[in-house]
Amino acid sequence: MFFAGSPFKTKMFNFKDACGIMKKIKYEVIFMKRLVAYFSASGVTSKTAEQLAELAGADVFEIKPKIPYTKADLDWRNDKSRSSVEMKDPSSRPEIAEKKDNMGDYDVIFVGFPIWWYVAPTIINTFLESYDFTGKKIIPFATSGGSGMGKTNEKLAPSCKGAELLDGEMLNHFDKAKTEKWLKKLNLG
């Protein structure tokens, strides 16, 4: 069990004593403080982010664009729509409405987004470049209409200077068991 705000997590260890009687030891390990930061234009990644945060014992921060995306902005069929224009320009950095003032408290930052044109929306680069993540773990996750992570990390890496950028995970159709397995693999289970 863990408690929000506490740096410790309580774990139980079962063992047999010299007489073969099962005993339990309760011990505490340092809990790496986790944050799930996400951008979601139409609500899918937002739900996934909440579910992941619950499993990972993480706080949640929504990366809100200063100028919200309208339906027309998200029209990928229109090469002049805001999203098309931004995604064609690798230097675009859409502004974020609010900064999180206690970002320094977190050791592990899950960063969630919808896949746009096979990679992360450039607002994720804005987010990563807005803080000093030196020494922290950045773990991407995404939802999509079917594409995988593709070259997402290649585009995010230059924005994660000094941080450890881990392979991302697609979390389409949220699967609790699969997500728990992934967290265990990351030593965050």
Ligand X SMILES: Cc1cc2nc3c(=O)[nH]c(=O)nc-3n(C[C@H](O)[C@H](O)[C@H](O)COP(=O)(O)O)c2cc1C
Contact in structure between 122 and 93 (CB atoms under 8 Å): yes
Q: Which is nearer to ligand X, 53 or 115 (CB)?
A: 115
Binding mask 117-156 for ligand X (x = CB under 6 A): xx------------------------xxxxx---------
- Least distance from C-beta 74 to ligand X, angstroms? 4
Q: Which is nearer to ligand X, 124 or 138 (CB)?
A: 124
Q: Give the ranges where the chain is alpha helix by DSSP (H).
A: 44-56, 82-88, 122-129, 152-156, 176-185
Whole-number CA gyration radius for the chain: 19
65-104 residues near ligand X, rule: CB under 6 A: 74, 76, 83
3-state class of 10 per DSSP? strand
46-65 residues near ligand X, rule: CB under 6 A: 46
Report the distance separating Cα 49 and Cα 37, nearest Å: 8
- Give the interface with ligand X as residue ranges (CB under 6 A): 40-46, 74, 76, 83, 114-118, 143-147
